[in-house]
Chain A
Amino acid sequence: MNDLSENIVTAWRRAVKNPAISALIVLTFAIGLGANSAMFSMAYNILLSPLPYADSDRLVRLEQHEPNAGRQNFPSSVQSYFDFREQNESFEHVLEYHAMQFTLLGHGLPIRVQTGVTSWNYFDVLGVQPLHGRLFVAGEDDIGAEPLILLSHRFWVSQFDSDPDVVGSSLEMNNAIHRVIGVLPPIPAFPDDNDIWITSASCPFRSSPPVIDNRDVPMIASIFAKLRDDVSIENGASDVNGIAQRLLTTYPDSYSAARGYTANISTLKDVMTGDSSRVFILLVAVSALVLLIACANIANLNLARLASRHQELAVREAVGAKPSAISRQLLTESVLYAIVGGILGLIVAYFSLGVLSDFAAGYTSLASEIRMDSRTLLFSVVLAVATGIVSGSAAAFQRRNISKALKEGGDRVTTTASGKLQRSALLAVQLALSFVILTVTALIVVSMYRLISMDPGYDPENVLNVSVDLNFTNYSSPQEIRDFGLRLLRETSQIAGVESVGVSAIAPGQGGVLGVVAFEIEGRVSADDEIRPSATNSTVSSEYFRTLGIPLMKGETFDESDDENAIPVAVINQRFEENYFPGGNAIGNRISTNQGESWIEIIGVVGDVRFGNPNVPQGPASYEHFPQRPGTSMEFVLRSTGDLSELGSIVAETIYSIDSQQAVDEVATMNQIRSQWLEAPRLVAILLGLFGVLSLLVTVSGVVGVVSYNVSQRIREIGVHIAIGANPTKIRGIFVRQTVRILVAGLAIGALAMAFVAPGLSEFLFETSAVEIDVYLFVAFLLAVVTWVATIVPARRASGLNPAAALRNE
């Protein structure tokens, strides 16, 4: 203990004696450890930590698939849900869930609320306790039960100012009075970021007999279940697939063997993590590389500091210190630096949690769980100590020649070759790791740029999108919906500055997934069990394509005469024609989405668009004319020469003037909608860019440190070179050549390492090869320039030395 305290005191004295080098070491540790603490907080809480639910390892999602039709985890009918719930032998509980948009009245302006609809015991099974009031109880999801509402914590705070007295109040929704029975605590926004929760009994669609009885109505978005504690995931999956096979046999009209109908389960952890794990693993890996660079850099600095202490340490040994005591002293110093750096890094990591949480929200609903807790602290401490030991070991366990060190200052003019080799090797490792980080970053930035600059197939400039979901209780007939839509189109087209207005049933970019509809093509054979052609489907108004700048490739688009009394018509996209009419003769053909009961004539072909994830090309799509098939979900798009932010208010006022009880869901420019899809990859690029800059900074400091150290150790040698005729350029050349050799070695190692990294990188890249040679050359050039700059500064100092003083080594 005395030994330790003496080591600490000695370390402190040395740190104070060399404040600049101490600050550099601490800062380097802070960068490496801070980045890793932050990434650990994110990755641990999302990927490794148990879900914030009771018995979360037993929670699963039941999934149904038709792989032969390309349908994965498709929504379930109510009857299927009942079958799985009643017939299984593996689950303690089976829960249903779907989400809907409803209009909430009785609290100021009408509010469109995202509503989670579920079984009465949904929150009981998850182990969630209400913040205020109570949860649903048994029987409250029986048809005819009293309509009840649970408020989400976010909605309660934003809409009710966190007033606990809201419990017990009544709100109107779907033509019924709903009683607020409780407020939920903050929980992950899963499966959706719902405002309120109701039971299935309160959902007018879920509780209607036609929906309940029809096996072909996909009402329930997700079925969740809790495994019995004696049942494994594999057995549970086998159980549900057994039920699926029985359904195939019992109801051949509703479940298709040809489409490969099957069922299995996924753990809730996997579901909530989704495919985000690859992104987090990438970031953790890159931050680990930054730490490795920091370690190599500090090891190098320690070796340099050690060289100037050879005589001091030799004297210590000469007067009786054991070599192990010297090693402990050096390790103590390194670990202390690491701990101080780790504390600084933790502080930075703590303040970056909010940003990281926002970033992670683009990938998983578990983003809300990111926090700094005892595990993060423990991880940070262990990592700091380990990092301190690793970066201090090269110096601590270096062989020391006491007699030589005590004689030092005599005739030798340069450092030992082995010491130089060690430092050069460490610098080469730093450069190699920097090359890997910068290449990964550059590839993702290039990919991001290509994603952003890719033509989405429409023109989002100067276009506003206004979402209106008509309250189905007020608009129950097609005529009422059509009248509202056409009136709003007419009135908004009169607004000053508006060039054109269109409407569609699906929000462009908001989800980006149109409903998939299977259809028949007139004149082509289509057996019942054969896999039918399918396409996404939407309804749009006549000016829709012009408003969004979607080009008409063939035929014509809709006009006013294509109304409810005219022949049903459709416009398709290019992909549709390529897939189903490879001869390019789609126009004039007819398709049916109701197995031949009625037919829709194809009148035009428009260009493909990428409304949603720009990474995903649009599949076959068909558009029907809004007046011929109006729906309550309306997305108005307005192209205007005026100020779009003002236009939003004017459109909202126009809507209220038509129907004061109608809520306006969302107002956003098309550019905003588009940028939402780019936000997550953009943040990944920014984070990686940050790591790239950090690695570059650490590497630059490493190059400067090594070259400066070499200069300081070779002052007499420089004097000799000058004395025998070397000019300043040749003196600089000595150091530049040395660095170039290290740089070439580093780049070679880095390029070799990329051969292992590149295959795993492809999945993150859009239209960019993981071995894009231009990017590799650019990064190599960047590192060469940065290394040259970092070398030339101390090298200039060397070439400017007074040779007489240098020879005296002053």
Chain B
Amino acid sequence: MKTDAAEIVRLTGISRVYETYDTETRAVQDVDLAIHEGEYICITGPSGCGKSTLLSIIGLLDTATSGQYLLKDHRVDELDAYQRAELRNREIGFIFQAFNLIGDLEVVENVELPLVYKGISKRERREIAMDKLAKVELTSRAHHYPSQLSGGQQQRVAVARGIVAEPSLLLADEPTGNLDSMNGEAIMDLLDELHSEGKTICMVTHDGRFLSRMTRSIDLVDGKIAT
């Protein structure tokens, strides 16, 4: 762990409780966690342990029920929806298990999307997006639609989209979960490459094969950090 590196995320006593009319589910309980620049963190644990919920909280997609969350010194709980959106757009990139590409947009348009919300001009964002597509070796598929791509290619597009806005933190939720082993390896190689270039990555997975690639592993059990 690089303790001298700048802190990007600090979670203090974070809990997330889901309430229905007759039950209360504690998805995340009293989690303290810090993520520093350049880390390659893996959150692991059995199914239903709260991994994805924790990742959603870190990614500003969900709100903690209690506790304090500082993202690059911003008190996240004090932000309104617009400020959270701006912060998320600026600081966080996502890679999802289900790729979540937008079917009606071309590959390059999918990659550009974060830059659209950032207000980058069309010409500039196209240049940046093509550059990221080159990085994932999909320049030739820039004007295809996602449905015309294989699963592995779609996830590479998702990676390009995740990094296009140069976020401080790249969050990956089971990025290999929908891929065969060969494509899964290829995506992990890509993430490794990004990490080696200095990207901070936080990944959720229950696939033990990739743990050795990480700088730190966090084991979550019943919503609590076990290690």
Q: Which of A717-746 contact B (CB under 8 A)?
A: 717, 719-730
**B114 — which chain A residues lie within 8 A by C-beta?**
724-725
Determine whether the beta carbon of B178 is less than 8 Å from that of A411: yes
| Residue B99, interface by CB 8 Å | yes
Task: Give the bracket for the number of chain A residues in contact with chain B.
Answer: 20 to 34
**A720 — which chain B residues lie within 8 A by C-beta?**
96, 100-102
Determine whether the beta carbon of B99 is less than 8 Å from that of A411: yes
Secondary structure call for the B interface: helix
CB contact between A727 and one of B81, B103, B104 (< 8 Å): that residue: B81
The smallest C-beta distance from A566 to any residue of chain B, in angstroms, reads 90
When C-beta atoms are compared, the residue in chain B nearest to A409 turns out to be B98
Interface string of A672-700 (1 = CB under 8 A from B): 00000000000000000000000000000
Determine whether the beta carbon of B53 is less than 8 Å from that of A412: no
Determine whether the beta carbon of B113 is less than 8 Å from that of A721: yes
CA distance A728 to B88 in the complex (A): 13
| Residue B82, interface by CB 8 Å | yes
When C-beta atoms are compared, the residue in chain B nearest to A799 turns out to be B81
Determine whether the beta carbon of B103 is less than 8 Å from that of A716: no
When C-beta atoms are compared, the residue in chain A nearest to B88 turns out to be A725
The smallest C-beta distance from A164 to any residue of chain B, in angstroms, reads 74
Which of B5-13, B55-63, B70-78, B182-190 binds A?
Answer: B55-63
**B98 — which chain A residues lie within 8 A by C-beta?**
410-411, 413, 716
CB contact between A723 and one of B86, B88, B99, B103 (< 8 Å): that residue: B88
Task: Give the bracket for the number of chain B residues in contact with chain A.
Answer: 20 to 34
CB contact between B100 and one of A413, A415, A726, A727 (< 8 Å): that residue: A413
The smallest C-beta distance from B170 to any residue of chain A, in angstroms, reads 12
Secondary structure call for the A interface: helix
When C-beta atoms are compared, the residue in chain B nearest to A727 turns out to be B85
CA distance A721 to B89 in the complex (A): 10
Using A724-B113, A724-B114 as known contacts, say yes or no to A411 and B85 having CB atoms under 8 A apart: no
CA distance A726 to B61 in the complex (A): 12
CA distance A607 to B89 in the complex (A): 76
Which of B81, B85, B94, B102 has the most chain A CB atoms closer than 10 A to its own CB?
A: B85
Q: Which of B130-178 contact A (CB under 8 A)?
A: 146-147, 151, 154, 161, 165, 178
CA distance A720 to B52 in the complex (A): 15
When C-beta atoms are compared, the residue in chain B nearest to A417 turns out to be B104
**B52 — which chain A residues lie within 8 A by C-beta?**
804
Determine whether the beta carbon of A727 is less than 8 Å from that of B56: no
CA distance A804 to B58 in the complex (A): 11
Determine whether the beta carbon of A727 is less than 8 Å from that of B86: yes
Determine whether the beta carbon of B117 is less than 8 Å from that of A414: no
When C-beta atoms are compared, the residue in chain B nearest to A731 turns out to be B85
The smallest C-beta distance from A541 to any residue of chain B, in angstroms, reads 79
Using A410-B98, A724-B113 as known contacts, say yes or no to A804 and B56 having CB atoms under 8 A apart: yes
- Please give me the 3 A-B residue pairs with the lowest Cβ-Cβ distance, nearest first: A725-B89, A727-B85, A804-B56
Binding site for B on A (CB under 8 A): 410-417, 420, 716-717, 719-730, 802-804, 807
Q: A721-B117, A724-B165, A725-B86 are in contact. List 16 more A-B contacts (CB 8 A).
A: A410-B98, A411-B151, A413-B102, A414-B104, A417-B104, A420-B104, A716-B100, A717-B102, A722-B88, A723-B61, A724-B113, A725-B117, A726-B85, A728-B85, A730-B85, A804-B53
Binding site for A on B (CB under 8 A): 52-53, 56, 59, 61-62, 81-82, 85-86, 88-90, 93-94, 96, 98-104, 113-114, 117-118, 146-147, 151, 154, 161, 165, 178
